[in-house]
């Protein structure tokens, strides 16, 4: 596939006008498809509108709009002008209102945008939390064609910043990742052959466009490769999760990217009688970008949809982040076994941070799933707390060097300096290497140390989620320092599926704590059970650990007294 474009705008301008581009699904009665030609016309119309409001080359424009073709057209229109678009999360029931307002105010203040564009439905009461002057805040035009008088010219340069994307969960931290045209195109030049992408491919996505998985893999990639994409909004998907597989089946989609929880969510929410109507044989790769990738989630999904003609090896893995445009590693999509799995000695892994391989039948063996090998142009190192390289199989922090690394955090040279070390990006993730495969095990800041043992909160959360009374994916585990013992205690907070089960809280909590002790050999100090939607979520829909911790402390002040260093 030819990707010899200088800029992203050039790639859009070169697209065959009659080729279908975006099919946007809202429900069975609301499906909109536009060709590349129609999308380009709509993008020029938005470019004319933005220019009429004073936007020019090099200016930043913030887009706070619902997922859909108008948002994509406004983004592309800004790039056609040589401006720098940034998509921010739209308000939804998944994000706590106070957290959203604070994040919106902080990010728009940091970006110092010439324009902040909202759609016609954006709540008026939130406009006061947008950091922009009155002349800078506008509602989007609904025009689909530019006027005859509009001069269409595009003179972006490869080394110019193309757009800004925000890492998941960083809304309040104001860390906008500035990426040049050439960095994005270099990333795609490595990713496309790794995924064996061709003109016959079609992508499916419900992922939000303010997140790197949605923006790069499911908008920029198909735009540059001139292939179709089938989209729906995250809200529509979460209300009807089975529609994802129905759309893949109906539109014969071959590629999709997902976070880990999607696998369990679908396996448990799509009824067995509905699975038989699905034909997933077109799905060449369903790529899991979570850290870590869970073998149990993969197996549960495979078992649930084996009768839906799911290919062997369709589930794949990748390690990706906004700071490197997108993917750093990718598993082999042609391997019918899927990502590499290894079983390691649990005690050595917890106590020595060493991955010693054992057979799957060994008592206490734990399975780790690879995120794949480095793409061309990328490399990783595993280092200890002093920055010294670790030998193969040892767990440490992942450092990344890439030819598609971020230009910097926009307007935040202080954060850029902290994130880069001699050209290497300090990821904050923990992992280990085995025979060239990268295994990501969690976030460094979330690691819980109990009596010298390293415990990863995801392991605790997975156990808690298995209880039928717990809302799957709505658990946060954390370590709290116990002054008397000189080590951390484990505390977990989980949402109940049915608030009516609150009367059984003691029995549920006891059952969960027994399971944690049985599987991990450690005891949880407390498990707090809360009603649905209690846990604070990030804009990407993940539990926000620090914000959830603060909320728990506010409701349980005895924890502050008991744990003075919490």
Cα(132)–Cα(404) distance, integer angstroms: 31
Reported as a pLDDT band with limits 50, 70 and 90, residue 560 is low
Tokens read off for 76: 């592309």
The domain limits of the chain are 8-239, 252-445, 447-562
3-state secondary structure of 146: coil
Residue 541 has pLDDT above 70, yes or no: no
**CATH fit for domain 447-562, picks 3.30.300.30, 3.40.50.720, 1.10.3720.10, 3.40.50.2300:** 3.30.300.30
3-17, 61-75, 152-166, 450-464: the lowest-pLDDT one = 450-464
Looking at per-residue pLDDT, the higher value among 471 and 95 belongs to 471
Q: What is the pLDDT of residue 519?
A: 85
3-state secondary structure of 30: strand
How many CA atoms are closer than 13 Å to the CA of 522, on its beta-carbon side?
27
My answer on whether omega of the bond before 292 falls inside 30° of 0, hence cis, is yes
SS3 percent helix, strand, coil of the chain, rounded to 5, is: 35, 25, 35
| Fold matches, 8-239 and 252-445 | yes
- Nearest Cα to Cα of residue 526 among 543, 545, 544, 506: 506
For residues 118-153, b (16+ Cβ closer than 10 Å) or e, as one string? bbeebeeebbeebbbeeebbbebbeebebeeeeeee
Residue 168 has pLDDT above 70, yes or no: no
Q: What is the pLDDT of residue 329?
A: 98
Reported as a pLDDT band with limits 50, 70 and 90, residue 98 is confident
Angle of helix 295-305 versus helix 261-269 axis, rounded to 10: 30
The residues, ordered by sequence, that sit 6+ positions from 322 with a Cβ below 8 Å of its Cβ are 165, 166, 167, 168, 177, 212, 406
Cα(159)–Cα(424) distance, integer angstroms: 20
Mean pLDDT of 145-152: 88
Mean pLDDT of 126-150: 86
Residue 51 has pLDDT above 80, yes or no: yes
DSSP character string of 367-408? EEE---EEPTTEEEEEE-TTSPBPPTTB-EEEEEEETT--SE
Number of helices and strands in the chain (H, E): 18, 28
Cβ contact 72:46 at 8 Å: no
Residue 564 has pLDDT above 50, yes or no: no
Cα(70)–Cα(59) distance, integer angstroms: 20
Question: Please, what CATH class does the domain formed by 252-445 belong to?
Answer: alpha beta
Q: What is the pLDDT of residue 537?
A: 78
Q: From start to end of 101-251, where are the E strands?
A: 115-118, 137-139, 161-166, 176-180, 203-205, 229-231
Cα(78)–Cα(412) distance, integer angstroms: 22
Per-residue pLDDT of 437-446, as tens digits, reads 999 999 888 8
Q: What is the pLDDT of residue 552?
A: 85
H-run or E-run covering 27: strand 20-27
Cα(312)–Cα(519) distance, integer angstroms: 30
Q: What is the pLDDT of residue 565?
A: 42
Looking at per-residue pLDDT, the higher value among 564 and 418 belongs to 418
For 9, 39, 71, 78, the CA distances from 45, given in Å and listed in that order, are 15, 10, 12, 10
Cβ contact 374:191 at 8 Å: no
Residue 170 has pLDDT above 90, yes or no: no
Mean pLDDT of 281-302: 94
Mean pLDDT of 32-59: 96
Arithmetic mean of pLDDT over the chain: 90
- Nearest Cα to Cα of residue 457 among 472, 438, 444: 444
Looking at per-residue pLDDT, the higher value among 144 and 327 belongs to 327
Cα(115)–Cα(54) distance, integer angstroms: 8
φ and ψ of 480, to 5 deg: -125, 135
Cα(401)–Cα(504) distance, integer angstroms: 51
How many CA atoms are closer than 13 Å to the CA of 253, on its beta-carbon side?
27
Question: Is 3.30.70.860 the CATH classification of the domain at 8-239?
Answer: no
Among residues of the chain, what percentage have pLDDT more than 90?
64
Reported as a pLDDT band with limits 50, 70 and 90, residue 61 is very high
3-state secondary structure of 299: helix
Does the pTM surpass 0.95? The reply is no
Mean pLDDT of 390-402: 97
Mean pLDDT of 204-212: 94
- Nearest Cα to Cα of residue 252 among 207, 203, 288, 205: 203
Mean pLDDT of 493-503: 83
Reported as a pLDDT band with limits 50, 70 and 90, residue 79 is very high
Give the angle 208-210-215 at the CA atoms, nearest 5°. 75
H-run or E-run covering 62: strand 60-64
Residue 172 has pLDDT above 50, yes or no: no
CA 438 to chain centroid: 18
Cβ contact 286:314 at 8 Å: yes
- Taking residue 18's Cβ as centre, other Cβ atoms within 10 Å add up to 9
H-run or E-run covering 524: strand 524-530
Q: What is the pLDDT of residue 500?
A: 76
The residues, ordered by sequence, that sit 6+ positions from 483 with a Cβ below 8 Å of its Cβ are 563, 564, 565
């Amino acid at each position: 596939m030819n990707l010899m474009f200088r800029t992203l705008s050039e790639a859009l301008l070169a697209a065959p006008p009659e080729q279908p581009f975006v099919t946007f699904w809202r429900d069975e009665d609301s499906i909109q498809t536009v060709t590349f030609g129609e999308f380009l016309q709509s993008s020029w119309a938005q470019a004319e509108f933005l220019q009429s409001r004073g936007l020019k080359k090099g200016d930043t424009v913030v887009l706070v709009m619902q997922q859909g073709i108008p948002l994509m057209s406004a983004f592309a229109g800004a790039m056609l002008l040589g401006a720098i678009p940034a998509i921010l999360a739209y308000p939804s029931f998944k994000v706590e209102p106070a957290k959203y307002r604070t994040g919106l105010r902080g990010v728009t203040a940091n970006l110092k945008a010439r324009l902040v564009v909202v759609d016609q439905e954006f709540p008026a009461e939130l406009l006061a939390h947008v950091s922009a002057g009155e002349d800078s805040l506008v509602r989007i035009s609904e025009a689909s064609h530019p006027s005859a008088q509009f001069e269409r010219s595009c003179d972006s340069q490869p080394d110019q910043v193309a757009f800004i994307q925000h890492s998941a969960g960083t809304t309040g931290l104001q860390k906008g990742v500035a990426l040049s045209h050439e960095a994005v195109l270099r990333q795609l030049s490595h990713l496309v052959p790794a995924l064996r992408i061709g003109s016959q491919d079609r992508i499916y996505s419900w992922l939000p466009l303010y997140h790197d998985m949605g923006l790069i893999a499911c908008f920029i990639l198909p735009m540059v490769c001139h292939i179709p994409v089938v989209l729906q909004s995250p809200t529509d998907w979460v209300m009807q999760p089975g529609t994802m597989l129905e759309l893949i089946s109906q539109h014969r989609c071959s590629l999709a990217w997902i976070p880990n929880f999607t696998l369990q969510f679908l396996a448990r929410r799509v009824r067995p009688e509905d699975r038989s109507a699905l034909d997933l044989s077109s799905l060449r790769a369903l790529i899991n970008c979570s850290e870590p990738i869970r073998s149990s989630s993969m197996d549960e999904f495979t078992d649930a949809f084996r009768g839906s003609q799911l290919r062997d090896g369709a589930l794949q893995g990748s390690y990706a982040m906004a700071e490197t445009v997108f993917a750093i590693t990718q598993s082999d999509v042609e391997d019918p076994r899927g990502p590499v799995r290894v079983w390691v000695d649990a005690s050595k892994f917890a106590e020595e941070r060493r991955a010693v391989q054992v057979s799957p039948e060994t008592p206490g063996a734990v399975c780790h799933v690879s995120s794949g090998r480095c793409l061309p142009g990328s490399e990783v190192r595993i280092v200890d707390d002093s920055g010294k390289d670790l030998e193969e199989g040892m767990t440490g922090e992942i450092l990344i060097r890439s030819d598609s690394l971020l230009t910097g955090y926009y307007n935040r040279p202080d954060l850029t300096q902290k994130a880069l070390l001699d050209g290497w990006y300090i990821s904050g993730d923990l992992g280990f290497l085995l025979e060239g495969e990268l295994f990501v095990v969690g976030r460094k800041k979330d690691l819980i140390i109990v009596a010298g043992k390293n415990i990863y909160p995801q392991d605790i959360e997975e156990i808690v989620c298995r209880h039928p009374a717990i809302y799957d994916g709505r658990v946060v585990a954390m370590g709290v320092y116990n002054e008397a013992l000189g080590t951390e205690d484990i505390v977990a907070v989980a949402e109940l599926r049915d608030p009516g089960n609150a009367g059984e809280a003691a029995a549920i909590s006891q059952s969960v704590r027994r399971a944690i002790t049985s599987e991990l050999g450690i005891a949880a100090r407390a498990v707090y059970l809360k009603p649905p939607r209690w846990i604070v979520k990030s804009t990407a829909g993940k539990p926000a650990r620090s914000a959830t911790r603060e909320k728990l402390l506010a409701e349980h002040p005895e924890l502050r007294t008991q744990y003075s260093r919490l």
